Every structure is written in structure tokens, then in C-alpha cells.
């Protein structure tokens, strides 16, 4: 750790404006590498507005880094507590802290030392509270920031990606693709279960928390009943073999989402029907619907260790815009009598 970096606890009354300026500077640098990112967040006032919600979350904690009289970084973590009945229970640890895309920044050229120093202080506070899973969202194009976090033991967990709404360029299967309604809820539930089972297999190994099924079904039914969303199901010989579901981009950071973006929430082809062009047929129909609705971009998430999913989505034109990185700290450190 560079000896000229001092760490202090984040105080919104003292540090919010300088944090907003640092975040706006980071967005300008990120947009220089990825022009799809919204230009609105190159302005400190807009960044201030997206930092502030962290302070409304119970248990938040943050730090700022200074070099001499200059503030060179900030980092804010918030507890994430997912009971097994939550629809996200299979995707995140039950007890973790999250550092969102808009909750950190470091001055250009100082990323390595600043992030390492800030994380040391932030992690010490949260480990003391018993939070051993830490998840951070970063820009894929920011190599300096990625290197800092990798040096701290973080590995890639999830990927958010974008593509335009142009038709896929590769061949699609000649297969029936139909819109789904609430009457097709059981079909949607079964295909969603197929997706969860895929995530539970090697080398992803995400848990499938069955207690969350009711909440997942409730969410799916709500999406099916909202005409602003779309569910497309592929059928082969009368059997449902794939699905794409579209909704508003609620799970993407506002700092990464261009205007007129729709979110592909669930994309699945059954295990016995993959590599036959069915996924491309579904994406082609979904992209056509998105164009008809006036959307310009489609966003989604996939698990970083999802071999088939990563290959399919990226070869279909989706470009990473956000990485979720994760570190699990061995709980036995609590026995050390620190």
C-alpha cells in the first residue's frame, strides 16, 4: 500500500460532492473506451443522484482515500441479505456485501494503490460484522481497476452485456416460436427450472434454492400479465424447448444502460435441444419484437463460468458492459481472535 494514501470513513455531508466528481471522471474515462455508456453521468450532479440511494440502505459503510489534500477515491458497501424464499436466492450468497457500479471510483493512474487501500479498510469493517462474501461491479474496459481487484483475490462472477436489436447474423432453426401469456405459466415455470438446473451444473455450480420457487413463479406471472413485457417460447413437435423473456432493465446499472434498452431476463434452450439454432431463432424473434417496440438495445446477464451461455451470447453480438466480481473470505478467520 502506498504510504501517501490516507483512509477515512465516508461522511455524506463532507464527501458526497467530491465522490460525485470522481465518479463523473470515471464515467468519462469509461465512455472513452465504451461509447455506449450514457453520457449523462459525465456530470457530477447526475452521479450524486445515483450515489445517494446507498445511504438509505441499512448497514451501509464507506471510505474515502486522500493523497495530501486531494481526495483520490471512494468506496461504499451495502449489506445484501437474501432469504431462501427470495427469487434471487439462487444467484447471490445469503449474506454478502455489494459494491455497486456507482458506489466506487479512483483517480486515474492511482487505481491500483487506491482501491487496495480502500478495500482493506472496508473489508475489515464488514468482516468484523460477519460478512464474508464481497461482490463488486466494475467496467470490463477498465484494466487498471480490474487488476487492483484481482490482486485482492476477486474473480469474475457474472457478466452484463449489450447488443443492438439487429437480426442475428447466423442461421436460425426453422422452428415454431410463439408468444406466451399467463395461460402458459406452467410452461414458463418449467423452462425457468431448466435454466436453474443448468446453472447448478459444472462448471457454474450456482445453488438451486427450491424455497425460492414460489417467489420466482410470482415474478414470472407478474411479467406475463404485463403487456409491456414479452415471452417467446420455441416448440419442437409440440414440446417447449426454449424461451426468451423480456422486461424493463431493472437489473442493469443505470450508468451502463443506453436509452431505449430492454432486458432479456431469461434465455434458455433445453439441454437436449442445444446447438441446433433454436437459441438464434428465439433471439431473432425477440429482436424483431424489440425493434417493433422502438428499442435500440438488448441487455442481459450471464454467469461468467457458463461455458455454453457465454459462447452463445457473445457470438450473438452481446458485448460485456459490466463485470460482477466476487471474493469469499474463509469464515475461519473469525476464530483468529483478531
pLDDT in tens, 74-126: 999 999 999 999 999 999 999 999 999 999 999 999 999 999 999 999 999 99
| Weakly modelled stretches of the chain, pLDDT under 70 | 1-3, 338
Classify residue 275 as exposed, middle or buried by CB count within 10 Å of its CB (0-12, 13-18, 19+).
Answer: exposed
**27 and 123 together in one domain:** yes
pLDDT at 13: 97
Query: What is the sign of the dihedral through the CA atoms of 250, 305, 155 and 41?
Result: negative
- Tell me, yes or no, whether 72 and 109 share the same domain: yes
Question: Into how many domains does the chain fold?
Answer: 2
Q: Domain containing 225 — which CATH number?
A: 3.40.630.30
User: Does 199 lie in the same domain as 275?
Assistant: yes
Q: Determine the number of helices (DSSP H) and then strands (DSSP E) in the chain.
A: 8, 13
What is the rounded distance in angstroms from the CA atom of residue 110 to the CA atom of residue 117? 11
Of 153, 179, 212, the position where a domain reaches its end is 153
CA quadruple 42, 323, 303, 262: dihedral, nearest 10: 10
Written as nine digits, the cell of 256 is: 451502463
Does residue 184 sit in the same domain as residue 74?
no
Q: Are residues 138 and 182 in the same domain?
A: no
Residue 334 lies in a domain: no
Could you give the percent of the chain with pLDDT greater than 90? Answer: 97
The pLDDT score that the predictor gives to residue 335 is 87
Q: Are residues 256 and 311 in the same domain?
A: yes
Structure confidence at residue 2 (pLDDT) = 47
Same domain, 240 and 105: no
Same domain, 197 and 226: yes
Judge whether 274 and 234 are in contact, CB under 8 Å.
no
289 inside domain: yes
- In terms of domains, do 134 and 47 share one? yes
C-alpha torsion 138→140→145→148, nearest 10: 90
Mark whether 122 and 176 lie in a shared domain.
Answer: no
Q: Is 254 found in the same domain as 198?
A: yes
Is 338 inside any structural domain? no
pLDDT at 1: 42
> Which pLDDT score is estimated for 337?
72
Identify whether the C-beta of residue 111 lies closer than 8 Å to the C-beta of residue 148.
yes
Please say whether the beta carbons of 1 and 113 come within 8 A: yes
**Domain range spanning residue 264?**
162-324
Q: Based on the domain organization, do 173 and 145 belong to the same domain? A: no
Amino acid at each position: 500500500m502506498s504510504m501517501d494514501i490516507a483512509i477515512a470513513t465516508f461522511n455524506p455531508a463532507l464527501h458526497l460532492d467530491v465522490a460525485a466528481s470522481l465518479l463523473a471522471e470515471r464515467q468519462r474515462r469509461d465512455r472513452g473506451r465504451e461509447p455506449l455508456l450514457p453520457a449523462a453521468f459525465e456530470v457530477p450532479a447526475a452521479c450524486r443522484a445515483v450515489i445517494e440511494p446507498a445511504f438509505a440502505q441499512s448497514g451501509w459503510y464507506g471510505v474515502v482515500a486522500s493523497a495530501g489534500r486531494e481526495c483520490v477515491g471512494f468506496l461504499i458497501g451495502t449489506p445484501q441479505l437474501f432469504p431462501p424464499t427470495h427469487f434471487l436466492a439462487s444467484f447471490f450468497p445469503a449474506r454478502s456485501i455489494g459494491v455497486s457500479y456507482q458506489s466506487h471510483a479512483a483517480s486515474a493512474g492511482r487505481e491500483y494503490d487506491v482501491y487496495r487501500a480502500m478495500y482493506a479498510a472496508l473489508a475489515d469493517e464488514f468482516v468484523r460484522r460477519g460478512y464474508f462474501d464481497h461482490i463488486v461491479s466494475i467496467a470490463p474496459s477498465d484494466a487498471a481497476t480490474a487488476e487492483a481487484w484481482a490482486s485482492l483475490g476477486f474473480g469474475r462472477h457474472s457478466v452484463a452485456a449489450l447488443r443492438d436489436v439487429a437480426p442475428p447474423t447466423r442461421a436460425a432453426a426453422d422452428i415454431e416460436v410463439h408468444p406466451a401469456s399467463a395461460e402458459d405459466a406452467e410452461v414458463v415455470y418449467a423452462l425457468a427450472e431448466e435454466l436453474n438446473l443448468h446453472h447448478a451444473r459444472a462448471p457454474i455450480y450456482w445453488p438451486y434454492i427450491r424455497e425460492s420457487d414460489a417467489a420466482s413463479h410470482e415474478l414470472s406471472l407478474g411479467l406475463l400479465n404485463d403487456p409491456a413485457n414479452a415471452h417467446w417460447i420455441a416448440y419442437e413437435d409440440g414440446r417447449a424447448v426454449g424461451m426468451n423473456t423480456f422486461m424493463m432493465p431493472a437489473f442493469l446499472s443505470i450508468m451502463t444502460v443506453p436509452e431505449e434498452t430492454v432486458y432479456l431476463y431469461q434465455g434458455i434452450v433445453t439441454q437436449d435441444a442445444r446447438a441446433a439454432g433454436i437459441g438464434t431463432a428465439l433471439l431473432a424473434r425477440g429482436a424483431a419484437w424489440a425493434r417493433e417496440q422502438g428499442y435500440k438495445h438488448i441487455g442481459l446477464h450471464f454467469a461468467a463460468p457458463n461455458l455454453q451461455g457465454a459462447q452463445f451470447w457473445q457470438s450473438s453480438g452481446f458485448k460485456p458492459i459490466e463485470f460482477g466480481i466476487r471474493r469469499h473470505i474463509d469464515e475461519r478467520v473469525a476464530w483468529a481472535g483478531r
